[in-house]
Amino acid sequence: MVKKHPGIKDARLNFAASKIIVVGNISVKEIEKIGAFEGIKVAREGQENQIETRLWVKYRQALLPAISLILIIVAFVIRWVGGALEIPTILFIIAAIFGGWGNFKKGIPSLLRLNFNMNTLMTVAVAGALAIGYWEEAAVVAFLFGVSEFLEGYTMEKARQSIRGLMDIAPKTAVVVRNGEEINLPVEEIQVGDIMIVKPGEKIAMDGLVVKGSTSVNQAAITGESIPADKVEGDEVYAGSLNQSGSIEVKVTKLVQDTTIAKIIAMVEEAQEQRAPSQAFVDRFAKYYTPTVLLLAIGIALVPPLLWGASWTIYIYKALALLIVACPCALVVSTPVAIVSAIGNAARNGVLIKGGLHLENAGSLKAIAFDKTGTLTQGEPVVTDIIAFGEISEEDVLSLAAGVEKLSEHPLAVAIVKHAVDKGIPLADAHGFRAITGKGAQAVVDGKTYLIGNPRLLDETGIDLSSIMEKIAQVQSEGKTCMLLGTNRQVLGVIAVADQIREKSISAVLSLKKSGVAKVIMLTGDNEATAKAIAGKLDIDYQAELLPEDKVSAVKKLRETYKYIGMVGDGINDAPALATATVGIAMGGAGTDTAMETADIVLMADDLSKLPFTVKLSRDALKVIKQNIAFSILIKVIATFLVFPGWLTLWLAIFADMGASILVTLNGIRLLRIKS
């Protein structure tokens, strides 16, 4: 109806998030006016607290069936004690109106628009029962449907709360320094560049950089990490995370609508809007199923009385029972509630799943390919071995190497300097630094020239390396990079540097194999020796020395063999391979816009242990969806066959329909309880 309003280009309903997205010119009051008959209340996003909900409106869905039940009990008691027959009849009619009020308000307009949904069918069934004098049946059916609507609404609300919980994570105000004064401002008024004061125990209101102080921050709400992260000057912090220990000053880097938590919420809501393949099947099924059942009910009501003179009352009753039991409510709700629950649970655990399609695909994965650098490994080289030759000690080798390299910005140089600092070893006082492109560097310490670099650098200097080549080959066979330290005459030592495997990579790979993923493979641009060493430690297959286009070809071949393949990367240089895979999975999406936009699933923390959880959750969601669809159809088929011998009463029909709806909803909500 909003779509039909003048000046509206488009309108989209996100049922899971209780939102309507409107493109065009319309006021909140006009939307409320359109939805007035259904009692719909609307507010602009972020102003939900402005919706005035009267106590009666808030609890009406529970109160109306309660009143209906009281009236039904009173009517049965009066009939049992032998009171006037008219009084129970009147009470049953009033009970039917109270119990079915919410349904009538939706069903009557739908009937007028010839939109035969479950509310329409139920309205026709109750009205028909009253028309043929089945007063108590009409009252009980209306009451049971009212209870069904209340329970469905309550359980759906539980699923929606998983998203609302995300919205309430970040505070609505923050203390900001302006003109030398500390003032408390709504987050909407805070600008990029403002300095926030965040005290211990307070939540951080905006994304930003720490400019003063140090602390530990609980980022579980954003990244799903259970261990607090230490933050010092220059580190990034996220809105919604909890400052645990020290007082810090944070320079705001993003407006409230651009924060990481805002993007998470937006993506989760968009994900819930997207229809999964099973949901599309259900919608297609219901589209043809409901009119077919309606025609069958009309046939049952008319054909026997007209052709064979059968009782109109009996066959109209059978037709009404068929209408009730045929309502596809359980079938229609079976998939969305499971998807909403699974996506909400994943978001709370630091995993963004961008839609029902990706959720179902993740549950079907048969093979998973990993990028190496920054995914299976930490992405930063670290010193692993120091070997000294002759009379010099390992500490002196490290001191001299770090002294030379402190003037270099090369990643391997940075790793050596960091290792020396971490070990508390003083850096040699070097000067006259000169970088030698592609080979290494040199500098002077105490009047003597020292060289550090790859074996080729010292070999070209004229130093005989034959005596240490076996040691160099052994280090390189382990996937490590060899750096030699020496003078113009001799080699003093070997420093081995390598990109370390992430702490959780081995357990994550093992969990994936145990869960039934048939193929786990590493695709890397690194050299054969390094790839072999890393893959050996993880006990997985590998392909090395791949260009980005080679990774795409490898993923395509895997898809041909396994059909459903996931690709895990950092979301930046692996974008083509992520897009080619059935499911692209990006690591460390917190604060990384590219990762959040590129992949189908985003692991917000650099934590591979979330991947087995995601696969398990997706598989459980697939099971629940299949269980719900199968159960809903089976109940309908059994109940429909009970109509023909006359074994299906109206109240039994509503029990079958209501029971199926509640059971599939509760089954779907179980997905909220799966732990990471």
Q: Residue 295: how many CB atoms within 10 A of its CB? A: 10
Q: Which conformational region is residue 231 in: left (phi greater than 0), alpha (psi within -120 to 50 degrees), or beta?
A: beta
What is the rounded average pLDDT of the residues 267-290? 66
Q: Are 365 and 565 in contact (CB under 8 A)?
A: yes
Report how far residue 483's alpha carbon sits from residue 493's, in angstroms, rounded to the nearest whole number. 9
The percentage of the chain sitting over the pLDDT mark of 70, rounded to a whole number, equals 87
The predicted pLDDT at position 253 comes to: 93
**Each residue's pLDDT tens digit, 315-368:** 888 887 777 776 676 777 778 778 888 888 888 888 888 888 888 899 999 999
Does residue 166 carry a pLDDT above 70?
A: no
Q: Which helix (H) or strand (E) holds 588?
A: none
What are the catalytic residues?
371
C-beta separation of 210 from 250 below 8 A: yes
**Is 190:206 a contact under the CB 8 Å cutoff?**
yes
- How high is the mean pLDDT of the chain? 83
Amino acid at 625: I
Q: What is the pLDDT of residue 317?
A: 81
pLDDT at position 639 is 78
Is the pLDDT at 531 greater than 70, yes or no?
yes
Residues 234/317, Cβ–Cβ less than 8 Å: no
- C-beta neighbour count of 671 within 10 angstroms: 26
Task: pLDDT band for 198, please (50, 70, 90 cuts).
Answer: very high
Structure tokens at 566: 């996931």
Average pLDDT, stretch 434-450?
A: 88
Going by pLDDT thresholds of 50, 70 and 90, the confidence category of residue 270 is low
- 332 contacts 205 by C-beta, under 8 angstroms: no
23, 32, 38, 326 from 26: Cα distances, Å: 9, 11, 19, 38
Residue 336 per-residue DSSP state: H
Q: What is the 3-state secondary structure (H, E, C) of 543-587?
A: ECCCCHHHHHHHHHHHHHHHCCEEEEECCCCCHHHHHHCCEEEEE
Pick from 129, 106, 125: which is nearest to 39 by CA?
106
Residues 240 and 249: their CA atoms lie apart, in Å, by 16
**pLDDT > 90 in the chain, percent:** 24
Query: Considering only 113-122, 166-175, 388-397, 486-495, which range has the smallest mean pLDDT?
Result: 113-122
Pairing of strands 481-486, 448-453: antiparallel
- Mean pLDDT value across residues 127-151: 79
Domains and CATH numbers, the chain: 8-52 (no CATH), 61-164+270-339+622-673 (no CATH), 173-258 (2.70.150.10), 378-501 (3.40.1110.10)
What is the C-alpha to C-alpha distance for residues 494 and 484, in angstroms, rounded to an integer?
5
Give the distance, in angstroms, between the CA of residue 229 and the centroid of all CA atoms in the same chain.
22
Contact (CB, 8 A) for 278 and 189:
no
Q: How confident is the model at residue 450 (pLDDT cuts 50, 70, 90)?
A: very high
Task: Count the residues in the chain.
Answer: 676
Average pLDDT over residues 382-386: 91
